[in-house]
Amino acid sequence: MARVAGSSMSASVRSTRHTANRVVEYLKRWADFEARYQALFTTDLPAAGTEEERIAVLQKAEALISTSFTTTFTDAANLQTIVEGKKTSFDAKRTALTNFLSSPFTTLASVRSAATALVAGLEAFDKEPLKFEDDERMFVILAEDMLKQAQKLHALGTKDALAVQDLVNGAVSATPVEQLDAMKQAAALLFGEGFRLIPEFRLSAERALEFQNCLNDQTQLLSHQKTTLDRDFPVDEWLYGAARVREKLAAWENLVMLAEAAKARPPMELTPFQLPYRANDHWLAVEHPSSHVIESDTLLYTAFALAINPASPIAGLLVDEWTETIPARQETTGLTFHYDRPNCEAPQSMLLVTPSTMKGVWTWQEVVASLHEALDLAQLRAVEPDQLDQLDYARFLPATVATLTYHPVTFAINYAALAKAAVFNG
């Protein structure tokens, strides 16, 4: 809504300025007439020797300030009186033009009325008219534009008013938190999205007492910085350091410097609070004693507080917040590494065993014997040919290590059967 009203105001200012510029240009012409008139009266008229010469000079002067010529006069002195009378009227009109430029007009209608009165009678002094027709057309266009914008504002305002009323009605039976949210939305509708409603709140008796203890113990909180480390302005040093890496704190730092340059009062000094309150505590935002033990999570609340009273209603605006972890002075660490065993199979496996005879049942001896056989075969498979070639008996070993069974219950290579088949075929 402010943008719409602002555009109308700018157009009104431009229109008024355009009218004023016309008057300024017109006054420049009259300033030239005035200079030439004064030159005739101060130089040419005293130098004129005859009556005819004086009349000629006076007629030139009259032409500069009037559009009518005096034809009836008795002598030069009489003509001079007439011309000086016209000059008085000329000066009065010129003063009116000058006053128009400095008049505090508050409405376009007042500008138009004054301009109309200003134009009246100008033809008696100057053949070139001062016209405001173009400006009047601009006024009409501006008025129509303002009417349309006013209608838009009215429609928007009506819509927002209904929405605000709905929020107010709904907040009657809502919780306090919901009421606060509703009022924030209503304020944004009424005053724009950039408007921020900052509510007041009260601390509980316990929190107010804790807050007051923090206020009373400011000297102890900064004692290590000021007494031991001999730093006069530890809070300022913290602010300037944090502002290098926090954009919002940098904006606050700039605001503080501008306030100091403008000598704003009171000074914008920050007050550190550390919650929960502990007696003999130290501010953890900066260097603290090595012997100080951090017992639990701590809220460091650094505020620009003006005569704050924890027992009274409080209003605040959050500028920036972040979470940091203060490293411990000692940490227990461990070293781990990945060790891959020299195997080619996953450690999970399943052993499928078939009985040696089809009796329909298992016996314990057969299960144990099957496990032993599986382990023996696993050991055989673990031996590589390169390892066997190093033995003296390698020449007697077959070229293939394969499973051998006496009963056809699994896949196997029977060398004896193959040998007999080879002899028979031969």
Examine the domain organization and report whether 296 and 345 are in the same domain.
Answer: no
Examine the domain organization and report whether 227 and 106 are in the same domain.
Answer: no
- The reported pLDDT for the residue numbered 381 is 72
Average pLDDT across the chain, whole number: 80
Examine the domain organization and report whether 40 and 117 are in the same domain.
Answer: yes
Q: Which residues in the chain show pLDDT less than 50? A: 1-9, 11, 424-426
Q: Helices 76-102 and 108-119 meet at what angle, rounded to 10? A: 170
Examine the domain organization and report whether 291 and 347 are in the same domain.
Answer: no
- The reported pLDDT for the residue numbered 403 is 64
SS3 per residue for 310-334 = CCCCECCCCCCCCCCCCCCCCCCCC
278 belongs to a structural domain: yes
Report the C-alpha gap between 120 and 96 in whole angstroms.
11
Q: Is the peptide bond before 266 cis (omega within 30 degrees of 0)?
A: yes
313 belongs to a structural domain: no
- The reported pLDDT for the residue numbered 404 is 64
| Cβ atoms 264, 199 nearer than 8 A | no
195 belongs to a structural domain: no
197 belongs to a structural domain: no
Examine the domain organization and report whether 10 and 84 are in the same domain.
Answer: yes
Q: Is 201 helix (H, G, I), strand (E, B) or coil?
A: strand
- The reported pLDDT for the residue numbered 250 is 92
In the chain, the amino acid numbered 251 is A
249 belongs to a structural domain: yes
150 belongs to a structural domain: no
The pTM (predicted TM-score) of the whole model is 0.42
Examine the domain organization and report whether 268 and 364 are in the same domain.
Answer: no
Which of 83, 102, 131 is the C-terminal boundary of a domain? Answer: 131
Which of 107, 131, 155 is the C-terminal boundary of a domain? Answer: 131
Examine the domain organization and report whether 280 and 343 are in the same domain.
Answer: no
- The reported pLDDT for the residue numbered 88 is 92
Examine the domain organization and report whether 281 and 348 are in the same domain.
Answer: no
The residue among 210, 232, 225, 198 whose CA lies nearest residue 299 is 210
308 belongs to a structural domain: no
- The reported pLDDT for the residue numbered 85 is 92
Structural domain containing residue 34:
2-131
Which of 131, 151, 166 is the C-terminal boundary of a domain? Answer: 131
SS3 per residue for 213-270 = HHHHCHHHHCHHHHHHCCCCCHHHHHHHHHCCCCHHHHHHHHHHHHHHHCCCCCCCCC
Examine the domain organization and report whether 356 and 245 are in the same domain.
Answer: no
pLDDT of 113-140, one tens digit each? 888 888 888 888 888 888 777 777 777 7
As to burial, measured by CB atoms within 10 angstroms (0-12 exposed, 13-18 middle, 19+ buried), residue 240 is: middle
End-to-end CA distance of the chain: 111
Report the C-alpha gap between 188 and 195 in whole angstroms.
6
Examine the domain organization and report whether 363 and 285 are in the same domain.
Answer: no
Examine the domain organization and report whether 31 and 124 are in the same domain.
Answer: yes
The residue among 304, 302, 300 whose CA lies nearest residue 255 is 304
Tokens linked to 34:
């005035």
Phi and psi dihedrals of 114, rounded to 5?
-65, -35
92 belongs to a structural domain: yes
Report the C-alpha gap between 208 and 310 in whole angstroms.
5
| Cβ atoms 222, 272 nearer than 8 A | yes
Domain count, the chain: 3
Examine the domain organization and report whether 347 and 296 are in the same domain.
Answer: no
